[in-house]
Chains A and B, each alone.
Chain A
Amino acid sequence: MLSSAQLQEFANNYGIPLWGLDASIALVLAVAVFCLCGLGVVVLVYMERKIAADFQIRYGPLHVGWHGSLQLVADILKLITKEDVFPKKADPWIFRLAPAIVFLAAFVGLLVMPIGPGLVVQDLNVGLIYVLAIPSIGIAGLIMAGFGSYNKYAMMGSLRAAAQMVSYEIPRALSVIGVVMIAGSAKLSAIVGAQGIWHIILQPLGFMVFLVSTLAELNRTPFDLPDTEAELVAGFSMEYSGMRFAFFFFGEYIALMAASALTVVLFLGGWHGPGPEFLAPVWFLIKTFGVIFLAMWIRWTLPRFRIDQVMDLGWKVLLPLALLNILITGIVMLII
C-alpha cells in the first residue's frame, strides 16, 4: 500500500484532487472485493452442496466439471436465461429494489474486514459499529421483498425475518462490547492487533452469544424461520425467480462469509497465526472457512426452532447472558 505522503505527491504531480484519487482507489478496491465475493460465493455454494451431500450419505454435484465444480456456473446460466416473472399486483419499485438491498447490505460488511496487517479496503475508526449496523439494512430488503410481492406467505416470511433479526441484533451487539472493552478500540484492525491471546479464551460467553445470534441473523438452521419450506414454502423470496432470486441467494452466502470473517476478527485472532507475515491472509481464510464449515455443519444436522422459541431464546436467554458478559468483563477488568 502507498503511504499518504506518496499519494499526496502523486496527486500533485498529475493535478488530480486528493479526494478524487481516494475515491477512485476505494472504488477499485471495492470492485476487487466484489469480484472476490463472487469467487467466494462459488466456492461456498460448492462447499455447502458437497458438505450436505457428505452428511447425507450421497455424492452431491458430480457431472458438471471436475466433481461437479462447475455446477454453480451452470445454475447461474440457467438463472440468467430464466423468464423474469413479475407478479401482477406486486409493487414494481419495492419488488425490484429488495434483492439489490439485501445483496448490497451483505456485501458492504466485507469492505472493512482486515484480512491481513494493512490489507483492508477502508479501516474505519468505528469499523465494528459499521459492521454491525450496515448489514442490518438487509432487514429492510427482506421486509420490502415480502411486502412488495403481494403474497401472504411472503408477507409472513418477511414479518418473521424482521421480528427475528431485530431481536437478535441486540444480543449480538451487546455480546461484542466485552471485546471492545478488552481491545480498547472499535477499529477492527486494532481489535485483531490486541489479540495476543484470542478473545475466544477471554470471552467464551461473549463468543457463544455472538455465534448463536449470528446464526439467527443469517437465517440459517436452526433459525431459518423466515424461509421454512414446510410452512411458508419459500418465505420472503417466494415470488422471485431468475436473477432476482439469485441475488437473495448470493446475498445469503455473502452475509455468511462476512459474518464468519467478523467472528474470526473479533474472537479467533484475525490474521494471527504461526509462520511469516505474508501467510496472514491465508490464516484468516482458513479460520473463516472453519467458521463457515461450523455453520454448515449445524445447518445440516439440527432441526429448527418454532417462532416463539426463537423469540424466547433471543430475549430471555441471550440478552441476559450478553449483559452478564459485560458485567463480568467489567468486574474482571476493574480487579486486574
Chain B
Amino acid sequence: MSKLEEIKTSEVSLDGLGVDISSNGDAGESRTDIRSEELAINFGPQHPSAHGVFRAIFHVDGEVVTKIEPKIGYLHRCFEKIAENRTYTQFIPYTDRMDYVSSMLNNWAYVLTVEKLAGIEVPERAEYIRVIVGELQRIASHLVFLTTAGVETGAVTPYMYYFDEREQILNLFEGVCGARLTYNYMRIGGVSADLPDGWLEDTKVFLKRLAKTMDETDKLLLGNYIFKKRMIGMVPFTAEDALKWGLTGPSLRAAGVPYDIRKADPYSVYPRIDFDVCTRFNCDNYDRASIRSDEIRQSMRIIEQAIEQIPDGPVKAEGIPKVFKPAAGEAYGHVEASRGDLGFYIVSDGTTKPYRVKIQGPSFGNLQALPAMAEGSYFGDVILAFGTLDTVFGEVDR
C-alpha cells in the first residue's frame, strides 16, 4: 500500500493534536447554515431564448445547471387529428405551420409521402424545382439558426447580415408562390406554379452574393476569438449518445455520423447531384453551429447544379383531381429537413381523407437529448446548447 493510499484509506485521527471535537459544535452548525440550496428557475415559455414557447425548469447551483426538466406542449395544435378531417390536398397548408422556419421542406415531406401512397409520378421539372426551393429553404433556415446562435452569445450585429440574405430568399419565394413565410407551394404531383421568367437568373445572382456574405460573416461570427472560446468543447455529445437519443440532421452530423436522408435514402433527383455530407467531430456547441455554415455551402452547390440540369416540361402530374381517393394502404416518406429527418406516416382507408397521419419531427427528437447533453454545464452554455440544437416549437408540439 503506497503512502498516498494509506492516507486516503486510514481514518483521520485527532489524538494528540489537542483538539476537542465535542467543543467544536458551533463551527459544525455554522457550516450547515451557509450550505446553499439549488435554485429552481422557471425558463420560458416567455423568454428571449425560448425559441418559441419552450418551457423548462432549470435547477441551478450557482451558475451550473444540475437538472433540466423540459415542459412542452405550449404550441400544440392537433395537426395529426386535423389531418384526419381534411382531404389530402387540404392538409398541405397545415404542414407549413409545423416548422414555420422551413415550410417548403415540410410541404415536400408531406406531398412526397402522399405521392408514395397513391403511386403518383412527379414530372422531372417539378422535382428540380422542389430541389431548388427546398435547398433555398434550408439555407434560409440555417441563416436563422446562425443569427440566433450569434444573438445568444451576445453578437447582435451578424444578425442583420444573415437576415439581409434571408430576405433575398424570401423575395425569391414570393416570386414563385406569393407568400413569404407559409408557402403552400408544393402540390400532390408537383408544384402549384412554374417558376417566373428570369427567376433562375435571379437565384444565380443571389448565390454569388450569398457566397460573399458567408465568407464575411464566417470571419465575423464563427471565426471570432471570443465566439470560439465560448463554444468549442462546450456541451459535447458522443456519436453513440447522439444515435441513442435519436438526434438527426445537422446535430447528428456534428457528432461525426454522416447520416443524411438525401444520401442514405435518396429521393427526388438528389442521386443525380454531386454534393458532400458535412460532418464535424465532437457535437459540441461550436460544431453544431459551424456545421450549418458548411451545409449552406453544400446547398449552394446543389442549387447551382440543379439550375444547370433543370429541364423544360410540365410542373404538375396530369389528371390529379383536387379531391382524390388513394387505394387503402399505408406509406412512410421522409426528407432531410433543415433540422433533420422529417417523416410522415400516412394510412389510407380508401376515402378522400387520410385515416391516420403520424408526423415524426426532427426538433422533437433533438430536443429530448437536451437534458442528457447539457446537465452539469454552465447556465449560459445550456442556453447555447438548446439554441444550437435548433428546435422549432411548431414542430415539437405540432
Contacts and interface: CB of A to CB of B under 8 A. Distances in A.
B224 interface: yes
- Consensus secondary structure, chain B interface: helix
Contacts of B60: 156
A224 interface: yes
A60 to B, nearest CB: 12
A230 B154 contact: yes
Interface string B138-181: 00000000000011111111011100100000000000000000
Contact of A57 (B41, B160, B220): B160
Contacts of A153: 41
A302 B49 contact: no
B383 interface: yes
Contacts of A160: 63
A58 B48 contact: no
A58 B151 CA distance: 17
Given A152-B41, A306-B230, A55 B157 contact: yes
B166 to A, nearest CB: 13
Nearest to B149: A303
B154 to A, nearest CB: 3
Interface stretch (B194-202, B243-251, B303-311, B374-382): B374-382
Contact of B226 (A56, A156, A300, A303): A303
Nearest to A224: B154
B226 A305 contact: yes
A304 B153 contact: yes
B39 A152 contact: yes
B378 A303 contact: no
A309 B225 CA distance: 13
Interface in A141-181: 152-153, 156, 160
Interface in B96-134: none
Nearest to B60: A156
B227 interface: yes
Contacts of A307: 63, 378, 380
A279 interface: no
B31 interface: no
B157 A301 contact: yes
Contacts, number: 84
A305 B226 CA distance: 6
A85 to B, nearest CB: 16
B73 to A, nearest CB: 22
A228 B47 CA distance: 12
Interface residues of A, number: 28
A153 B378 CA distance: 15
Given A55-B157, A301-B157, A303-B150, A308 B226 contact: no
A304 B154 contact: yes
B272 interface: no
Contacts of A301: 155, 157, 220
A231 B380 contact: yes
Interface string B247-268: 0000000000000000000000
Contact of A230 (B63, B152, B159, B164): B152
A302 B380 CA distance: 16
Interface string A206-230: 0000000000000001101100111
B310 to A, nearest CB: 33
Contacts of A43: none
A233 interface: yes
A153 B381 CA distance: 16
Interface in B22-53: 39, 41-42, 47-49
A306 B378 contact: yes
A300 B220 CA distance: 11
A230 B160 contact: no
B31 to A, nearest CB: 21
Given A303-B226, A305-B230, A58 B160 contact: yes
A321 B120 CA distance: 72
A319 B164 CA distance: 42
Contacts of A58: 160
Given A302-B226, A303-B227, A309-B230, A56 B156 contact: yes
Interface of A: 52, 55-58, 152-153, 156, 160, 221-222, 224-225, 228-231, 233, 300-309
Nearest 5 CB-CB pairs, A to B? Answer: A304-B154, A56-B160, A303-B153, A303-B155, A230-B152
Interface of B: 39, 41-42, 47-49, 60, 63, 150-157, 159-161, 164, 220-221, 224, 226-227, 229-230, 378-381, 383-384, 387
Given A56-B159, A303-B224, 8 more contacts: A52-B157, A153-B41, A160-B63, A230-B380, A230-B383, A305-B226, A305-B230, A309-B229
15 contacts: A55-B157, A56-B157, A57-B161, A152-B42, A156-B39, A225-B380, A230-B384, A231-B380, A302-B224, A303-B224, A304-B155, A304-B226, A305-B229, A308-B63, A308-B378
